[in-house]
Structures are given as C-alpha cells and as structure tokens.
C-alpha cells in the first residue's frame, strides 16, 4: 500500500476485526479514522445497481468534481475494467478478504492521474446487504484536482489482502524432552540387532 490513508485504514480495520473475518459496520468509529475520512468511501454490495456509493469523502468527490454519493461505483470505471472489478468486489465480500489496487484516472484536458483503491469488507445487520469500506485517493499532488474532473478510471495491478493464518502451536519444552529419548534410524537396519517389543533401541 502506497497511500498513507490506505495504510491507516487497513491497520484500523485489522485491529478492529481481531480473530473474526471482518468487523461490524456499527463498530467503526469515524473519530478513530478522522484523518482518512476525506479519502474514504463505503459501498453497498448490490450488483443489480452497480454497487452504489453510500458515503464518499470530500477528497474522493473532488477527484470527480461532483458529489458521487448514491451513484454506481462501477460507473466510475471504463468498460474494460468493470468485469474484473465486479468480480473483485464479490470475492472481497464472500471470502472476507481485502484488496488494494492501482488505478489510472482519465480526464479530458489534463494528464492522467495515478490512484490507489483499498476495499475491505464489513458486516452489516442481517436484513441489509453487505458493505465495503475503503479508500480512493490520488498518488502525488495534482494541482488541477477539484477543477478538472476524472471522467473514468482504468483498473491496474491489484493484490489480495488475506487474513494471516493463526500461528502454529509450538511444542512445549516438556514434549521436546520426551521426544529426545527416541532414536530414529534412516534405513540400513538389516544389520541391527532386533529390538524386543516395548523397548527402545540403544543409541549407536
């Protein structure tokens, strides 16, 4: 993750989640992530309506020079990017994993702008559709943001952020001492003396 807002939100989401697949939406405290609110957004997992944006920070809206709340998230992307993005959104929700991706914003008059997108699942009430919380932020300073809108974005390279597997239990010191009494022979036992059942072979 390149953008500081992405790193901060991911750190907060990971701490809030704990051992669970994802945190509850109602557990998220805006005050705890107030520094990244301008770059943040919340999406509804509703493929039929293009995954509408339920919340968009001021800096996210400035990229498009308009309010994008309640608009389709998929509509912000070019035609070629939408099928893959649609799949990423569903996989992120169904498997409770995060995704971070690069993107390129295209304008009519200015050069392209590199952006970073972070999407993380959150659990809502059982009667509601799932949601994703995330970041959409330009990389670098671009003086024309807020004046010249990004008309469409192209999805770039992405990386899946899977939860870390639980640490494997380490054997206790007592167990290691018990195992140390046994001698293991790697083949070539034809010339060894037979060992009576219930006894241990002596060390060579």
Q: Three-state SS for 64?
A: helix
- For 15-41, the pLDDT digits (tens) are 999 888 888 888 999 999 999 999 999
CA distances from 189 to 87, 142, 185 (A): 57, 74, 7
pLDDT at 194 over 60: no
User: Which of 17, 18, 19 is closest to 133 using CA atoms?
Assistant: 17
3-state secondary structure 123-180: ECCCCCCCEEEEEEEECCCCCCCCCCCCCEEEEEEEEEECCCCCCCCCCCHHHHHHHC
CATH architecture under which domain 4-161 falls: 2-Layer Sandwich (3.30)
- 98 and 92 Cβ atoms separated by less than 8 Å: yes
Q: Do 5 and 58 form a contact (C-beta atoms < 8 A)?
A: no
Question: What is the pLDDT, as a whole number, of residue 200?
Answer: 40
Supply the pLDDT for residue 202: 43
Give the integer Cα–Cα distance in Å for 68 and 87: 22
Q: Look over the chain and give the mean of its residue pLDDT values, rounded to a whole number.
A: 82
Flag whether pLDDT at 169 surpasses 70.
Answer: no
Q: Are 64 and 146 in contact (CB under 8 A)?
A: no
**pLDDT band (50, 70, 90) for residue 204:** very low
pLDDT of residue 142: 87
pLDDT of residue 94: 84
Please give the share of the chain, as a percent, with pLDDT higher than 70: 77
Q: What is the pLDDT of residues 129-151, one digit of tens each?
A: 689 999 999 998 888 898 999 99
pLDDT at residue 129, rounded to an integer? 64
């Amino acid at each position: 993750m390149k953008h500081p807002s992405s790193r901060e939100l991911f750190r907060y989401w990971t701490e809030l989640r704990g051992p669970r697949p994802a945190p509850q939406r109602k557990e998220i405290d805006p005050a705890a992530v107030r520094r990244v609110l301008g770059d943040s957004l919340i999406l509804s997992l509703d493929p039929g309506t293009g995954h509408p944006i339920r919340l968009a920070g001021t800096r996210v809206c400035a990229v498009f020079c308009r309010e994008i709340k309640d608009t389709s998230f998929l509509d912000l992307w070019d035609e070629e990017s939408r099928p893959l993005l649609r799949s990423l959104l569903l996989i992120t929700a169904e498997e409770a994993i995060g995704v971070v991706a690069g993107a390129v914003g295209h304008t009519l008059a200015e050069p392209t702008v590199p952006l970073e997108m972070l999407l993380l699942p959150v659990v809502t009430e059982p009667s509601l559709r799932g949601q994703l919380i995330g970041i959409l932020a330009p990389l670098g300073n671009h003086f024309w943001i807020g004046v010249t809108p990004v008309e469409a974005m192209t999805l770039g390279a992405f990386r899946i952020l899977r939860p870390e597997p639980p640490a494997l239990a380490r054997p206790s010191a007592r167990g290691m001492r018990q195992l140390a009494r046994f001698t293991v022979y790697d083949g070539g036992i034809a010339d060894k003396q037979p060992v009576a059942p219930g006894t241990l072979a002596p060390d060579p």
